[in-house]
Amino acid sequence: MSAPASRAFGLDLPEYPWDAMAPYQRRAAEHPDGAVNLSIGTPVDPTPAVVREALAAASDAPGYPTTHGTADLRAAVVEWFARRRNVPGLDPAAVLPTVGSKELVAWLPLLLGLGEGDVVVRPVVAYPTYDMGAVFAGATAVAADSLSDLDEQTRSRVRLVWVNSPGNPTGIVRSAESLRTLVEEARAVGAVVASDECYAELGWGSWDPARGGEPVPSILDPRVSGGSTDSLLAVYSLSKQSNLAGYRAAFTAGDPALIANLVNSRKHAGMIVPAPVQAAMAAALRDDTHVAAQKDLYRSRRALLVPALESFGLKIEHSEAGLYLWASAGEDTWTTVARFAELGIVVGPGVFYGEAGAGFVRIALTGTDAAIRAAAGRLHGAPDGAGRG
């Protein structure tokens, strides 16, 4: 009797897009002064002492942590929303810590019960994990910045709408009025709106409160929500504002019924933020000083990079907030990526963020002061049109 044919296991997923950067990273590494990697927004500055001290103090944690989060952490989130995001009176029961924000983005459609026939809407230029979340659930991802852009049949199948403001990679900030319109559109078709707001503390220009601007609006802001959190979820990460990417420290808040369902699902699945990390998160949320200091660092790095990129022939678009500069040289994305690699600089290809990202590159502010100065110097020193043709 012949042996049964072996079965292939695993999800049939596309290759992780950043693997395509390997040859450009190798070329940049050949620069005599070394590579400057400005492609991925991973923090490089130290985790604040107030956070590390809270983590250490909570390190004796022999028991299982609570999936819903400690009462202290949820209180800290509520205080932070009221103090920093113009969202007063949030119910502590409507807060849930998550293992970073990426896992929530990836698993939210599945945890909401979406499946075949359901539509997940994400921004036209967007972080690719929104699409992957739809794939994991068996739903369909559709790119649109407004539900009015969809045909009636597609609109009737929308069950989840992702909004990302400030946007990654574009740095676009949506006004309270724009967000309110999106919420009204989504509620009209019975869809949940999940707002990825992890760059909200990093507004520039008119969105920089430290320089006379206004705070970036949250989906839970009463001007947006109409005073009700029904069908709304705000998603936030401490990776950017507090240099906690290694802690996987994030949370979601909003509709109490949605949060209760997510808490129950996550109990079954074992999705729990470690107790010491929960304590560290509470400390980070209650300390605004380190957030302001970190933003000052990014502001100074941005001030160095903007004129340097312009001198290299790039036009910066949007980039009103966040840790990136979204720019185009009016040529193919990979041509621009290659020209940067010749200078020993690694940047992110805009095509990784959807078809509308073609021709663009994303340059992160997450380099050390020395690295940013080196990159700026190389860009200023490059001859006009370096590497073209």
**302 and 246: one domain?**
no
In a domain, 387, yes or no: no
**100 and 155: one domain?**
yes
**166 and 282: one domain?**
yes
Q: How far apart, in whole angstroms, are the C-alpha atoms of residue 135 and residue 141?
A: 8
Is the pLDDT reported for residue 169 higher than 90? yes
Question: Average pLDDT over the chain, rounded to whole?
Answer: 94
Is the pLDDT reported for residue 162 higher than 70? yes
Rg (C-alpha) for the chain, rounded Å, is 22
**91 and 220: one domain?**
yes
Mean pLDDT for the stretch of residues 167-181: 97
270 backbone φψ class: left, alpha, beta (φ>0; ψ -120 to 50): left
Q: What was the pLDDT predicted at 389?
A: 36
Q: What was the pLDDT predicted at 159?
A: 98
Mean pLDDT for the stretch of residues 282-308: 97
Is the pLDDT reported for residue 10 higher than 80? no
Is the pLDDT reported for residue 13 higher than 70? no
What single-letter amino acid sits at 62?
Answer: P
Of the ranges 1-5, 12-16, 81-85, 260-264, which one carries the lowest mean pLDDT score? 1-5
Q: Quote the tokens at residue 95.
A: 């807060």
Is the pLDDT reported for residue 300 higher than 80? yes
Is the pLDDT reported for residue 224 higher than 80? yes
Is the dihedral angle over the CA atoms 21, 22, 24, 25 positive or is it negative?
positive
In a domain, 2, yes or no: no
Say if residue 169 is preceded by a cis peptide, omega within 30 of 0.
Answer: yes
Among the candidates 252, 286, 320, a domain finishes at 286
Q: What was the pLDDT predicted at 297?
A: 97
**114 and 145: one domain?**
yes
Q: What is the pLDDT of residues 341-354, one digit of tens each?
A: 999 999 999 998 88
Per the structure, the count of domains in the chain is 2
**183 and 319: one domain?**
no
Q: What was the pLDDT predicted at 387?
A: 45
CATH code, domain with 356: 3.90.1150.10
Among the candidates 271, 286, 301, a domain finishes at 286
**299 and 165: one domain?**
no
Among the candidates 258, 286, 314, a domain finishes at 286
Domain that holds residue 271: 51-286
**243 and 345: one domain?**
no
Q: What was the pLDDT predicted at 112?
A: 96
Mean pLDDT for the stretch of residues 178-190: 97
**173 and 62: one domain?**
yes
β pairing state of 36-37 and 95-99: unpaired
CA dihedral 142, 148, 152, 154 (to 10 degrees): 10
CATH code, domain with 88: 3.40.640.10
pTM of the model: 0.92
Is the pLDDT reported for residue 17 higher than 90? no
**219 and 296: one domain?**
no
Mean pLDDT for the stretch of residues 245-249: 97
**257 and 359: one domain?**
no
Residue 6: band (very low, low, confident or very high) from pLDDT cuts 50, 70, 90: low
Q: What was the pLDDT predicted at 164?
A: 97
**353 and 317: one domain?**
yes
Q: What is the pLDDT of residues 31-69, one digit of tens each?
A: 999 999 999 889 999 999 999 999 999 999 999 999 999
Phi, psi angles (nearest 5°) of residue 235: -115, 130
Q: Is 287 exposed, middle or buried (0-12, 13-18, 19+ CB in 10 A)?
A: middle
Q: Quote the tokens at residue 262.
A: 């997510």
Q: What was the pLDDT predicted at 388?
A: 46
Q: How far apart, in whole angstroms, are the C-alpha atoms of residue 125 and residue 164?
A: 10
Residue 383: band (very low, low, confident or very high) from pLDDT cuts 50, 70, 90: confident
